[in-house]
A and B are shown apart, each in its own frame.
Chain A
Amino acid sequence: MTRQLFSRLAYGLLVLGAVLSMTGCATGPQSNPVDPFEPMNRGVFRFNESLDDNVLKPVASGYRDYTPSLVQTGVRNVFNNFSDVSATLNNGLQLKGRQAASSLMRVVVNSTLGVYGIFDVASAIHLERYPEDFGQTLGYWGVGSGPYVVLPVLGPSSVRDTAGLPVDWHVDPVSNARIASFGPETQILRVVDKRASYLAAGNILNEASIDKYAFLRDAYLQRRRSQIYDGNPPTEDLPDQSLAPSSSSK
């Protein structure tokens, strides 16, 4: 089973690598060192934007406006419960014992007392969420993020985080048919619920950026780095280049 997973993963990465290297490599003085695939990424971004504007955003807005808020809360709690399973695993892999224990307790309490996760009993008794995924685990153990990648439908990612996705899917009850059988409607519902939670942020993003693609890319990379360090990233040496270089600088 694991051999199949890894061979599929390796094959996927090879295909991805081949495609990326053939198309849309950015060169020249305009290229951003963290984004060598910028031309291709921008193309995928445009596709995602039109999919979002025409399909996902209207559906998510309708969901937010017409579904009773109790139902929305219940749905979000169920999906948070599923992701707590992945959190338990990844906190464990990062040797964060307290967070792993908290995540495990959350899953147990919410699945039983909280009736399959519908009621977030664990938060009521102050068991905190510590969301983690395999991409963060890889980052924790020193794997650099690699070039920025925009995935079709899924959106911003990086080479490392994309490689981490199959592991997340394997542990996820909704994606992995061997753990539990959910139909594709559940996946769709999860996507809609997630999009509904970003509706306000999406509007702010539109108004705040003069180049939405670049804004999203830098925000994603900064946020990812912060997540890997659990909100406490070491300060990067990004000097303020508007100041004249001092005579003592190297």
Chain B
Amino acid sequence: MACIQSSIFDLRRRQWLGRFGAWSLGACLGVVGEVSWAAPEEPDVFIRRLTTELMDIVKADKSILTGDVTKISVLVDQRVMPHVNFQRMTSSAVGPGWRQATPEQQKRLQEEFKLLLIRTYAGAVSQLNDQVIAVKPVRAAADDKEVVVRTEVRGKGDPIQLDYRVERAADAPSGWRIYNLNVMGIWLVENYRSQFAQEINAKGVDGLIVSLTERNKANARASK
């Protein structure tokens, strides 16, 4: 009887020891893992840092304040684009046509769409003067792959809603990449979907590439 009792106790103790051992080993590895690359930011901290940097540069540079969209485009390209997942934005906007496109076509689509988005974003940034961006705090659970960060641009008129969809990206400088943008309730990627689908239905993927290229050329001409 005592034998059985003690053997049951032994079993439980062994289980507990085993679990404790495994957990502490995992914790050690986790600590080592944390130290080997900088701990990733919370997504709202990331967005706040990004937008504050951008706003500071815009406010400090007089030529930007006068609305030089070309110069702002360069700024946006350098500062914001490394934190954006363009491949995902493009493929999501293009929709089912993406799977039928050749890698060469996909590359062209991505380039032209990127130019278009930079231009659009720069156009919006050129309208800023003394607005303040308020970022609402967000807590991402450890296993959340995608988070929405909500911000507001507050100036003289009604506040403008500006939301970002970010995804966890281990190779990104801050651990997150933006893959969609919402201005005043309008998600950009969704808004392009029907236009792109229309172009592909009418003229195929090459036709869409041509339309995007023409739009970008016309924009570049207009700013000269």
Interface residues of A (CB under 8 A from B): 29-30, 32, 73, 76, 129, 131, 197, 200, 203-204, 207-211, 214-215, 217-219, 222-223, 225-227, 231, 233, 238, 240-244
Contacts and interface: CB of A to CB of B under 8 A. Distances in A.
Given A129-B158, A218-B194, A242-B92, A207 B186 contact: no
Interface stretch (B11-19, B38-46, B74-82, B117-125): B117-125
B212 A218 contact: no
Nearest to B90: A242
A33 B222 CA distance: 35
Contact of B92 (A217, A222, A240): A240
B134 to A, nearest CB: 13
A226 B184 contact: yes
A208 B123 contact: yes
Interface string B170-210: 00000000000000111100111111001101100000000
B127 to A, nearest CB: 5
B211 interface: yes
Nearest to A220: B186
B190 A222 contact: yes
A200 B127 contact: yes
A150 B195 CA distance: 18
How big is the B interface, by class?
Answer: 35 or more
Given A219-B186, A223-B185, A225-B185, A204 B123 contact: yes
Contact of A242 (B99, B186, B198, B201): B99
A216 B157 CA distance: 22
Contacts of A210: 195, 199, 211-212, 215
Contacts of A208: 116, 119-120, 123
24 contacts: A29-B201, A73-B156, A76-B157, A131-B158, A197-B157, A207-B119, A207-B219, A208-B119, A208-B120, A210-B195, A214-B194, A215-B192, A222-B185, A222-B186, A222-B190, A223-B185, A225-B185, A226-B161, A226-B185, A226-B186, A233-B185, A241-B96, A242-B92, A242-B96
